[in-house]
Structure 1
């Protein structure tokens, strides 16, 4: 009986939590310290709190203690910006592991429903011509509105239909398809297909394909302009390191985390919180697991390289 009690005490000591990290320690961080630990600056985080406060204000309880909006978002940002475990995050913020789990699920959903439509969208009005001009200035291609590509997001082996998620490189993944402008801002994101599915099938089932088919004046361009989307994927994975491996069994939750990470990255860019310093790290990982195939999967021209992509012209 005594030995059992000692074992329980030792286990509790190993899992001891940090007290008042968010309340007392974080406010003392310099700007560079906060960015190093959460991959965003203080101004961006404060803007995020203001944007999401109406949806998170009712709070979440850890036991009998209500968690304020700032702490909720710090926990979520810490999760998506690192690969550390739920238990470690729980210990850092002085909450239980189940609380971290529930917060990630809840906040990912809120970001997808409330922020994604505001920050990831096709250009309209004068922004259309401005985007076309920026692509032409970048590589000399006229009429380009967006560059599209896909990325495999490594995931934990699912409990069902595991074989469907094994991609051509032999690991389990979910496919993220995205479109960006010349300045590496997301214009469209589409996620959820298992890694074994061919790129062309993903594209043909997306809203992007339907939109392109209504506009017969689309063009195909060399992979040099495609570099915009490749660099964006690199920057995304450098800032949101959780996307290097999403360790979840629930596919819907995994997709929500992926899309909310894209939205959070775009939110940072819209707040002049550049992700350039994350490019090298993210691009290295992107090269190791991707090199996506030609998206449309049809031999439209022998002269086009396999890496060529589809772009949508002015509406």
Structure 2
């Protein structure tokens, strides 16, 4: 029997007629651009040797897989009707590639057979996972006596670290952009770090706009508060001449002179060169750490194109990954530094003004050290 389909139907009529078999139904399908993942699935995972992993992911495959295991619970995703979820290994690889290479999101996506938005999501999710799970385990003060012994061997007694700040170039933020323009004229975010005698980060502070002076950042950091209260290091004093000296950290002339923070002499340097030389030699570990950090993770030299909210976690993740690579003895390739120096030429580090204030007692400690160094 023929059945006429009415010209006008109310809401839900097509569903009713489909159930009665009066109209044909078509399965609803999601559409997605087909991309190839063969390069990652079959070449990188199965063919690449350790030298290729190190060159491209800044670490050997064993370290990479260990990281994936540590972050697996945080990064595991469920499949959807649209597509299969990325594996933890692929998310990690995408993020490391983007952090290490000065490539755009589209280029990285083409390598892995994903969209550029997927690359951005992977970078943020991996950075968040590293910050949440690994930061407190990896960037921390460990054996203070080993650190003090390391600096003593370099020429400075009772020293627990060297502090400095560095500017990370970023794109102009959507809000309060003028606060991020540093004195060199580009937008930046500041990373403050304390490092040990081996140049590994023991404390970091990330997120201050580039316009803010290093000293202001330092005085408003948790590190300053703990050092001022005497709870960051153990209460371990030595006697230099006739002056008691606690465990100190070393800074450049931009930092204040404090009983627990030594900085070089400025102005006339009569009889002070030996002190400045030893302090500078030990303080160089933090500058070298920043150089190696940026050389391993080139994203820190190429204007991070993320929101101001996401950037601190990405910088933090790079610091954590740097510590992991250094502690595991992952090779540092000379080619990375050459390329980093080329990239860094576009973003000169701002100069810092000398701060001449000194806290009571600090000049006596510095003078005693100066005399001790001259006599030795």
Task: State the distance in 1 between where 2:126 and 2:75 align.
Answer: 8
Structure of larger gyration radius: 2
Task: State the distance in 1 between where 2:348 and 2:41 align.
Answer: 39
Distance 1:59 1:267, change over 3 A: farther
Q: CA deviation at 1:248?
A: 2.4
Task: State the distance in 2 between where 1:119 and 1:66 align.
Answer: 29
2:192 aligned counterpart, secondary structure: strand
Task: State the distance in 2 between where 1:135 and 1:283 align.
Answer: 28
Q: CA deviation at 1:281?
A: 4.9
1:130 aligned counterpart, secondary structure: helix
Matching residue of 1:137: 153
Task: State the distance in 2 between where 1:90 and 1:61 align.
Answer: 20
The structure in which a higher percent of residues are helix is 1
Matching residue of 1:210: 225
Distance 1:276 1:93, change over 3 A: closer
Native 8 Å contact 2:68 2:88 kept in 1: yes
Query: Unpaired segments of 5 or more residues in structure 2?
Result: 1-32, 231-245, 247-258, 264-278, 364-376
> Which of 90, 111, 127 lines up with 1:108 in the alignment?
127
> Which of 125, 128, 141 lines up with 2:144 in the alignment?
128
Matching residue of 1:224: 281
Matching residue of 2:349: 290
Pairing 1:153–2:168 present: yes
Q: TM-score, normalised by structure 2?
A: 0.70
Distance 1:63 1:267, change over 3 A: farther
Which fold has the larger relative contact order, with Cα–Cα distance below 8 Å and residues 6 or more apart in sequence?
1
Distance 1:184 1:162, change over 3 A: same
Per-residue Cα deviation, 1:58-113 (whole angstroms, up to 9, x for no partner): 35769412211111100010111111111111111011122111111111111001
> Which of 250, 257, 267 lines up with 2:314 in the alignment?
257
> Which of 170, 173, 177 lines up with 2:185 in the alignment?
170
User: What is the 5 A alignment of 1:29-48?
Assistant: 29-48=48-67
Q: CA deviation at 1:158?
A: 1.3
Matching residue of 2:302: 245
Matching residue of 2:266: none
Task: State the distance in 2 between where 1:249 and 1:112 align.
Answer: 16
Native 8 Å contact 1:61 1:67 kept in 2: no
Task: State the distance in 2 between where 1:156 and 1:63 align.
Answer: 33
Task: State the distance in 2 between where 1:96 and 1:62 align.
Answer: 17
User: What is the 5 A alignment of 1:168-207?
Assistant: 168-207=183-222
Q: TM-score, normalised by structure 1?
A: 0.83
Q: CA deviation at 1:42?
A: 1.4
Matching residue of 1:270: 327
Task: State the distance in 2 between where 1:40 and 1:144 align.
Answer: 31
Q: CA deviation at 1:294?
A: 6.4
Native 8 Å contact 1:156 1:246 kept in 2: yes
Matching residue of 2:97: 78
Query: Unpaired segments of 5 or more residues in structure 1?
Result: 1-14, 303-315
Q: CA deviation at 1:291?
A: 5.9
